[in-house]
Structure 1
Amino acid sequence: MKKKTSQRWRQATVWLHVITSVGWMGQALALFALLMVSRTAADGATRIAATSMAHEIDTLLLAPLANASAFTGFMLAASTAWGFYRHWWVLAKFVITLVQLYAGIFLLSGALQDSVVAARAGDPDPVPLAQVTGTALMASAIAFQAWLSVAKPWGKVRTGAKLPTAPTWVFVSAVAAPLADITMGLILGFPLPALSLIALIVRLTGRRRESRRRTAPVPAT
């Protein structure tokens, strides 16, 4: 019974990872479409409306879904035998996700905010081509990660003993934390992945201890 409960929560974590990843990709495509409208529209009012809507989608939908997708992916890697560095396809997904988070938070979102401020201040110029390209690359990267999850190419990075699957409470937190963060973000009006970060830090600390115990030399008797 206990094993079945743990399996169900692990499956729930995978399910949440899949739907948030699909949502992340869908919102990236929505941003691409709106920014294309903002760039190609003939009148300033349409450009302002499209840019403003893209900003709202980025803040209220894309960012929370991206945070939840990344968090559940990291938790699955840190809580199962897959790990972060045992397989090339997992390592590739990990690196791509980190690049996406950095680019999305510090580059695209900031640039989009600047475009909205400029448009609302009476400067409804088309958004830069780099923003449109960035959203297209984001959606393409998520699609590539989905292929990696299905194909699992390239073999192993390294061999060695597998770490055990985490206890049930870890997968419960992997589901509950992002859902709570999304709810708080909608209430506050901006994404705040606080509980997800805490849960991930706790799990990574526990994983490190497990790894040390397994590699520690056995004392002589």
Structure 2
Amino acid sequence: MKYRFSIKQKQWMITIHVLSVVCWLGGAICMFVLGSYMLMSGNGEQLYYTLDNMHLIDVVLIRYTALVALVSGIALSIWTQWGLFKHYWIVIKLILTVFLILFGIKFMGNWLSTLIQGADQMRIVALTDAGFLTTSYSLLGGAIANIAALVFMTAISYLKPFGKIKKRGERNEKQ
């Protein structure tokens, strides 16, 4: 017999999953708000410390909560009736979650590090540097993409659209 969560285990895992997604979404919103604020900095110290706070939010509210969301989502899929590859909405959430985490590791973390380094070296003059501004806008776009994807994933978690994934035998029988 396949292992399944008990009702209490499932409730706790859903709680962990929802809280991790809320933290991740809150962190992404904070990154967008602080990123917008950073572009209006009045002096070099404000610019640097805003970026430094964005780094703190990235580490505390985004990185680890995204991983908790991924692991708890996989656990909920595997050890409940939903299954990891039975429904399109679960597969879409899995793909988007992995994509957002990899995008964050590959691009957003590097962009933020580049901006912090630029602000530390150039201070307020950084806001006149084309490369600094381009990277800033890329980071803001990444925050918007995270927000949009997380809202979309939340919506499909409740709406459960697209139906079940049909097995090969089921598809061939209907043809």
Q: What letter is aligned with 1:60?
A: V
- Partner of 2:166, secondary structure, is coil
Are 1:89 and 1:148, in contact at CA under 8 Å, matched by a contact in 2? yes
Are 2:43 and 2:123, in contact at CA under 8 Å, matched by a contact in 1? no
Instruction: Name the counterpart of 1:157.
Output: 165
The one-character-per-residue Cα deviations of 1:80-124 (angstroms, maximum 9, x if unpaired) are 231222111111111110110111111101210121122112344
Gaps of 5+ in 2: 128-132, 169-175
Q: Does 1:38 align with 2:38?
A: yes
Shift in Å, 1:59: 1.2
- Partner of 2:84, secondary structure, is coil
Q: What letter is aligned with 1:39?
A: L
Q: How many residues align?
A: 156
Are 1:111 and 1:131, in contact at CA under 8 Å, matched by a contact in 2? yes
Alpha-carbon distance in 1 for matches of 2:74, 2:111: 27
Deviates more, 1:147-156 or 1:76-85: 76-85
Alpha-carbon distance in 2 for matches of 1:57, 1:67: 15
Shift in Å, 1:78: 2.0
Shift in Å, 1:61: 2.2
Shift in Å, 1:159: 4.4
Taking structure 2 as the reference length, the TM-score comes to 0.82
Percent of paired sites with the same residue = 24
Are 2:48 and 2:116, in contact at CA under 8 Å, matched by a contact in 1? yes
Alpha-carbon distance in 1 for matches of 2:73, 2:102: 16
Alpha-carbon distance in 2 for matches of 1:68, 1:32: 22
Are 1:23 and 1:62, in contact at CA under 8 Å, matched by a contact in 2? yes
Q: Does 1:10 align with 2:18?
A: no
Taking structure 1 as the reference length, the TM-score comes to 0.66
Alpha-carbon distance in 1 for matches of 2:6, 2:122: 56
Q: Does 1:55 align with 2:63?
A: no
- Aligned-residue Cα RMSD (Å) equals 1.7
